[in-house]
Amino acid sequence: MAHLCGLCLALRGDHGQFARVATNYDGLVISVLVEAQAGRSEGWRRTAGPCPLRGMRTASVAQGEGARLAATVSLVLASAKVRDHVADGDGALARRPVAAAARRVAGRWDRAGERSGAALGFDTALLLDAVGRQEELEALAGPGTSLLTVTEPTETATAAAFGHTAVLAGRPGNRAPLEEAGRLFGRLAHLLDAVEDLAEDAETGAWNPIAATGADLAEVRRLCDDAVHGVRLALKDTEFADKGSGRLAHVLLAHELGRAVDRAFGTTGCAHTGGREAGTPGTPGTSGTPSASGAPGTPESSYGPPQSPWINPGGPGGAPPPPEPPHGRRRGLIAGCLVWTGLCCTCQVCCRDPYHDPWTGQPREGLCHKCDDCCDCCDCCGNCGDCCSCDCCDGCDCGCDC
């Protein structure tokens, strides 16, 4: 939460209040990686004032170059997402005046991200070029096209962002493994988003890489599992200076990615094996093998950060969930943001299980409803917390008895 709030406040501080809508869970990984490599000092935290999204409580939040890089990357990628929604005519963006305003906002965010990126030595042109190539590749993709061809721009963008964390932290030796981790992280984000949206995209006629290329879900699952394994291998070659932040990076990138794959494909099991021991890859929201029609079910949850085991299904005061959008329809950008604000102000995003996604209406798991750093199949030592007997660590060399 310190990194999530730090990202939000960095967006406000560098780019204005409205830019805070670009806050996202994936972006905070950038801030975590910078802090984990540089080592925490007095300047890495500050006390932020009361915020409605924290129940009007103060909090210790991350600051510095890590939070600013996370804000820059999040802003540029958010501008790309806005343009993508405009091109697809989603919701209110199908109206010309709204679409024109959204394009102006996206243009301002591009320029703002370029300025803040230059101050950090990061060339946002890499991200913008990747976004441009994405549209071209999607237009050319068809049956038989490799999924990795479609995911390449996303992989390139996230590799550049992850690699620059090593530059900011003064750890040039970490750049290559982190670029590899970022490349695979981007592949996973792209594929899991495609898996979760497959049924809805089929109903609305929206473009989906899995449907467009005719890829088999079992092959998609294999690519996801291989990417999770590759990220874990890359982390082993990365040197972290701060033990606490390094442990958090391990949880996010070694543990949580495996859980995200399981959730997207509707399987259960140990996150460290990528669900391979939980049964065969199934359609999202179900278990077992894909159906003959290949149509997926509704995903149970989205990719998100690790969550705590505290459960309060009713939410504070038993607040009801927001109304679910009509089946097959999405809320527009503005309406979704308003509902998201209401969810946060009533703490339903944290405490309700499940709450409904503000844009799609799909059930989501509250942030405070999750197991801790390691799942039950791990034998964690009490000293370092990230030393496990399972295959994601292979017996880490931390000097303690596991």
Q: What is the mean pLDDT of each run of 10 residues along the chain (402 residues)?
A: 92 90 90 89 83 84 92 91 79 84 90 92 90 86 93 93 95 96 95 92 88 94 96 94 88 92 80 43 39 34 30 35 49 75 73 74 68 40 42 45 40
Buried b (16+ CB within 10 A) or exposed e, 292-315: eeeebebbbbbbbbebeeeebeeb
Last residue of a domain, one of 75, 102, 122: 122
Last residue of a domain, one of 72, 106, 122: 122
- 225 inside domain: no
Contact indicator for 298, 198 with CB cutoff of 8 Å = no
- 361 inside domain: yes
What is the per-residue pLDDT for 345?
A: 72
- 196 inside domain: no
- 365 inside domain: yes
Q: Give the helix ranges, DSSP H, for 120-216.
A: 125-140, 147-169, 175-204, 209-213
Last residue of a domain, one of 122, 157, 175: 122
Which pair of tokens denotes residue 11?
């967006």
**C-alpha span between 402 and 19 (Å, rounded):** 45
pTM over 0.95? The answer is no
Place of tokens 């509250």: 366
Segments forming the whole domain that contains residue 322 = 308-371
Q: Which of 141, 252, 239 is nearest to 188 (CA)?
A: 252
- 115 inside domain: yes
- 389 inside domain: no
How many domains are contained in the chain?
2
- 394 inside domain: no
- 28 inside domain: yes
What is the per-residue pLDDT for 268?
A: 62
